[in-house]
Structure 1
Amino acid sequence: MSERLPSRFRIVPRDAAVRRRSTSFLFVLAWAGTLAAAWFIASHTAAPRLAQADAARKRAEQALAAARGTLDSLQQRESTLARSDQISRAANAEVQDALAERDEEIAALRADVAFYERLVGSTSQRKGLGVHVAEFESASGGTWRYQIMLTQTLNRGAISQGQMRFTVEGVRDGKLAAVAWDELHQQRSAPGQAYSFRYFQQLDGSVMLPPGFTPQRVKVTLHGDDAAVEQAFDWKTATAAGGK
């Protein structure tokens, strides 16, 4: 008798199959309900929080923009104030320099007034055109700077005009010698220094003495329309007055 092969089919009672499909349907339905509940809870809890977070982000961006604007404004103001302070400092320095120059001018004018008062005061003796003082000071390059003050108080309403020259006398190569105006200026026919004043005038300039020459005195001559004056000054006294 041949052996029977097992069958690929299985006989299941109908009620059992129905119960299985019902169970699967209920499971799917429960899973869908769970998803719906989760979506509902999320939409009613997370969504408001998301909206609040978005609103907070916008407020933060606005605050940041305002802070940046304020920072730019403050930086611009600081730059403007720094520039203004720099300009003020420069202007103040210019004012201080100008005041210092004015103080020097005032001091010089006061000295001139004091000299004028001594010169033409009620107790002073009136004198004609003359050389009040001659000063010499050594400068660079072997040159000598001079300041010669001319005065006249005899005729207070007149203007003294003319030319001033001087000659330096001394010793050269063991012999007496004189260095004239032309040689002092190292040119031929050097013009005299013009003067024109009512009471006093200071003449300034520079000359050069030749090498090997030892000065001993300076002789100043004034040639005007109505006067000719010649005065001599000791060189040591003239250079001592000039700061030597």
Structure 2
Amino acid sequence: MPNVVKGSKQERMIVVPHRPIRRLVIGAAIGLCVLVSTVGGAYYGFTRGVDAQSAELMARGELDAMLQAVSAENEELRRRIALAQREGEVDQRAAQEVSGELNALQHRLAELESDVQYYRQVVSEQTGSTGLMISRFDLTPTDKANTKRYKLVLRQQDADGDTYLEGRVNVTLAGRQSGQLKRLALREVSSEQDEDAIRLRFKYFQNVEGEIVVPDGFVPEKIEISAVAEAPVAKRVDQEFEWGK
């Protein structure tokens, strides 16, 4: 029997499984999350109204470097998951959870890469026109009933990097309800918006994005966009996009 000093504090010991690869996988997943968040944060400010400093950041290629780091971390995470699964050191449920997170991060990474490429092209492109334009509008399905995600990009053509474009944009969901034509303002179907007219202020471009939830009984047909620039050049742009299936 081991000697125990009377009155000494006895520490309780807990035995836990030693799973180094599992910790590596989880650590890699966390690292990938941080990298994706870093890239997302870097281009978020850029898309909300690009300023000269952000444009310089793009020109220096720092976003390229971050994207390469994310891609490398992504591949390393995939390798570690495969290794852990082969050695049986990650139970099936944990592996599924990590794989699910990986798939979500890969999807987000692909979106970021596409957006960064598009924004870089916008900054470097020379056009013969000036003023406000609707550069891009996307509608993508979600896993929620009667819900689509929207993304509108408004652009200042021939931007000099110093002058702000100011104005407003109205987005309307047009369709039918009970056989009658009906138009719904974006704020009525999207929780991300609380005003009919969305204010614009940017040097290169500005994003407007969120989710549209279609009310019961309403059959959507198209999206109507009306954008007005007040400065530096007064201009109005109207465009329609089919809702699709």
TM-score by length of 1: 0.49
Higher relative contact order (Cα pairs below 8 Å, separated by 6+ residues) = 2
Higher gyration radius (CA): 1
Between Structure 1 and Structure 2, the one with more helix by share is 1
